[in-house]
């Protein structure tokens, strides 16, 4: 953790109660919260933090990858979900993404779950504003939200796979999203992919 570029560990807590006693004093930019801790677990601690500060990115750490655990974390106010088996590179990416956008999800989290969470306002990312997408980019973004693969998008639009990859990269850069999950949340937030169909 201490060796990650531009990331500094400023506090540690053995359990949720200790974290609640200390976090305000240290003013962290991002929190890594263990879902299972003695005395008070991460879910309750996160929920209590949310009663005081709604914008602090809190990434839940867990050994469980079932959707029920992810949904429970989001309902309690988590801004993202990381497995404890995640590589250091992903942890670093998650922290930086949470700091910059207010959330982080990897592609293991299903798009249908993200749609559900966003619709119920469990996720509220901090995109600065809507960006201008051209017609093709908008169409590709909608297809990504509908879970089409790159090959399927290429076939339907009669374009090469590498061309679609290029469009996707441009969309990611324009929006400032890190991955497909971020694109879905953005599309829902700005009505590009309305949940009511």
| 189 assigned to some structural domain | yes
**Same-domain status, 95 and 21:** yes
Tokens of 57: 């990115």
Domain boundary residue, one of 104, 139, 157: 104
Contact 143, 137 (CB under 8 A): no
**Same-domain status, 95 and 120:** no
pLDDT of residue 88: 92
| 9 assigned to some structural domain | no
Question: 3-state secondary structure string, the chain?
Answer: CCCCCCCCCCCCCCCHHHHHHHHHHHCCCCEEEECCCCCCCHHHHHHHHHCCCCCCCEEEEECCCCHHHHHHHHHCCCCEEEECCCCHHHHHHHHHHHHHHCCECCCCCCHHHHHHHHHCCCCCCCCCCCCCCCHHHHHHHHHHHCCCCHHHHHHHHCCCHHHHHHHHHHHHHHHCCCCHHHHHHHHHHCCCCCCCC
pLDDT of residue 128: 62
**Same-domain status, 66 and 113:** no
pLDDT of residue 180: 82
| 4 assigned to some structural domain | no
What's the domain range around 150? Answer: 109-197
Domain boundary residue, one of 70, 104, 138: 104
- In tens digits, the chain (197 residues) has pLDDT values of 556 778 999 999 999 999 999 999 999 999 999 999 999 999 999 999 999 998 899 999 999 988 889 888 988 999 999 999 999 999 999 999 899 888 888 877 767 777 777 777 767 677 767 789 999 999 999 999 888 899 999 999 999 999 999 999 999 989 888 788 888 888 888 888 876 55
How far apart CA 178 and CA 180 sit, in angstroms, is 7
Domain boundary residue, one of 72, 87, 104: 104
**Same-domain status, 158 and 181:** yes
**Same-domain status, 89 and 120:** no
**Same-domain status, 132 and 96:** no
**Same-domain status, 128 and 99:** no
**Same-domain status, 72 and 147:** no
**Same-domain status, 175 and 127:** yes
pLDDT of residue 107: 77
> Residue 122 burial by CB count (10 A; 0-12/13-18/19+): exposed, middle or buried?
middle
Q: How many domains does the chain have?
A: 2
**Same-domain status, 100 and 124:** no
CATH number for 192:
3.40.50.2300
pLDDT of residue 185: 84
How far apart CA 81 and CA 73 sit, in angstroms, is 8
Cα separations (Å) of 147 from 99, 110, 111, 181, 190? 27, 10, 7, 11, 18
């Amino acid at each position: 953790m201490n060796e990650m570029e531009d990331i500094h560990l400023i506090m540690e807590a053995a359990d949720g109660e200790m974290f609640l006693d200390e976090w305000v004093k240290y003013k962290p930019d991002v929190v890594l919260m263990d879902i299972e801790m003695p005395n008070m677990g991460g879910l309750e601690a996160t929920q209590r933090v949310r009663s005081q500060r709604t914008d602090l990115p809190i990434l839940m750490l867990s050994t469980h990858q079932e959707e029920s655990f992810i949904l429970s974390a989001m309902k309690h106010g988590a801004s993202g979900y990381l497995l404890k088996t995640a590589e250091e590179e992903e942890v670093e990416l998650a922290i930086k993404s949470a700091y910059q956008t207010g959330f982080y999800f990897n592609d293991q989290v299903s798009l249908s779950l993200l749609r559900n969470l966003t619709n119920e306002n469990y996720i509220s990312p901090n995109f600065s504003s809507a960006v201008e997408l051209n017609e093709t980019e908008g169409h590709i973004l909608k297809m990504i939200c509908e879970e089409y693969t790159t090959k399927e998008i290429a076939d339907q639009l009669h374009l090469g796979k590498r061309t679609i990859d290029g469009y996707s990269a441009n969309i990611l850069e324009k929006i400032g999203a890190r991955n497909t999950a971020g694109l879905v949340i953005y599309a829902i937030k700005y009505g590009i992919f309305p949940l009511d169909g």
